[in-house]
Amino acid sequence: MTRLRIIVAGAGGRMGVANIAAIAAHDGVELVGALDRSGSAAIGKDAGTLAGLDALGVPVSDDATALLDQADAIIDFTAPAASVALARQAAAKGLIHIIGTTGCTEDDDDAIADAGAAGARIVKSGNFSPGMVALTVLVEKAARALADYDVEVLEMHHNRKVDAPSGTALMLGEAAARGRNISLKDNSVRVRDGHTGPREAGTIGFATLRGGNVIGDHMVILAGQSERIELNHRAQDRTIYANGAVKAALWAAGQQPGLYSMADVLGLAD
Ligand SMILES: NC(=O)C1=CN([C@@H]2O[C@H](COP(=O)(O)OP(=O)(O)OC[C@H]3O[C@@H](n4cnc5c(N)ncnc54)[C@H](OP(=O)(O)O)[C@@H]3O)[C@@H](O)[C@H]2O)C=CC1
Ligand SMILES: O=C(O)C1=N[C@H](C(=O)O)C[C@H](O)C1
């Protein structure tokens, strides 16, 4: 059977090494290239060694154009500008592009959708853990059933994380907003400080904590009169995201060009 040829972008990063290890551990896929930013300390190192495995004979490079010609798919957990640039290259070459990068602006997301329309098969998700995607389904249902409860989304991550709220917190907020038939953009409260006045009914609040090496904790609270429901997810290992990304790449191989979510991959989309 032909194996899906995958390039890992951001190979020297926390998720990069997890993605390299997940590809090495899966049947049906092979690592054919590893990319990182020009000037990164990872350039020239063997991808397997970086991931704590035996050497794979795949040196980390900063030359995306040369590597993409030998690949079917890119697994990309990097930074918004890098993901937009790679999406455009994936569209030009008809590649699968799995995007885990968070912190994208609306313009970034529009550019990524355009790349899907122009020939890339993109799966983008703020969280590739199947457990988290299942949680978004529960949050949507709970927000619909408890229509007058206050919804708050709380997240905690390690002290190296650069974007807030997390991509996952925003996914959970979107799920609650879908349950209420409202737009998250028009109803979210991302920051509270000073004399805020009472909580405005119907809004979806966010709280962000950062510290230590926390991989990713998320809680959605639905607070009513005399009771509070707390829906929790705690990531214990980045393998959950990396395995999800490999699963998404294999799934995308059977799809038409376009922009898909992890809910599509798992058959949980509406
Ligand atoms: N969707 C999901 O399931 C998950 C998403 N994430 C997201 O993935 C992203 C990466 O997270 P994490 O691995 O912790 O971060 P890291 O900072 O550890 O890794 C990011 C990597 O991308 C590299 N990079 C930056 N710019 C470029 C570029 N232009 N071209 C190629 N590589 C580049 C960085 O290089 P350098 O260090 O040299 O700058 C680094 O190696 C974040 O947006 C995070 O929120 C994380 C976990 C799960
Ligand atoms: O940066 C991280 O680490 C993570 N980022 C994603 C996010 O922003 O939600 C996913 C996960 O929570 C870890």
Q: Please indicate, yes or no, whether residues 38 and 64 belong to a single structural domain of this protein.
A: yes
Q: Please indicate, yes or no, whether residues 121 and 202 belong to a single structural domain of this protein.
A: no
Q: Which domain holds residue 138?
A: 130-235
Confidence check: pLDDT of 1 > 90: no
Confidence check: pLDDT of 270 > 90: no
Question: CB–CB of 32/6 below 8 Å?
Answer: yes
pLDDT digits (tens, 9 = 90+) for 204-243: 999 999 999 999 999 999 999 999 999 999 999 999 999 9
Q: Please indicate, yes or no, whether residues 248 and 226 belong to a single structural domain of this protein.
A: no
Percentage of the chain surpassing pLDDT 90? Answer: 99
Q: Please indicate, yes or no, whether residues 163 and 261 belong to a single structural domain of this protein.
A: no
State in Å: Cα 223 to ligand 1 middle: 34
Q: Ligand 2 pocket, 78 CB below 6 A?
A: no
Q: Please indicate, yes or no, whether residues 67 and 176 belong to a single structural domain of this protein.
A: no
Q: Please indicate, yes or no, whether residues 10 and 124 belong to a single structural domain of this protein.
A: yes
Q: Please indicate, yes or no, whether residues 149 and 171 belong to a single structural domain of this protein.
A: yes
Would you say 203 is a known binding-site residue? no
> Which residue, judged by its Cα, is nearest atom 11 of ligand 2?
216
pLDDT (average), residues 147-167: 98
E strand segments, the chain: 4-9, 29-35, 60-61, 73-76, 96-99, 121-124, 150-157, 188-189, 204-210, 217-224, 227-234, 258-260
pLDDT digits (tens, 9 = 90+) for 72-103: 999 999 999 999 999 999 999 999 999 999 99
pLDDT attached to residue 20: 98
Q: Please indicate, yes or no, whether residues 146 and 122 belong to a single structural domain of this protein.
A: no
Residues in the chain: 270
User: What band does 181 get if pLDDT is binned at 50, 70 and 90?
Assistant: very high
Residue carrying structure tokens 């704590």: 52
pLDDT attached to residue 50: 98
Name the domain count of the chain.
2
Average pLDDT, the chain: 98
pLDDT attached to residue 186: 98
Confidence check: pLDDT of 172 > 90: yes
> Which residue, judged by its Cα, is nearest atom 5 of ligand 1?
100
Q: What are phi and psi of 33, to 5 degrees?
A: -170, 155
- Enter the ipTM: 0.98
Q: What are phi and psi of 103, to 5 degrees?
A: 85, 15
Look up the CATH number of the domain holding residue 31: 3.40.50.720
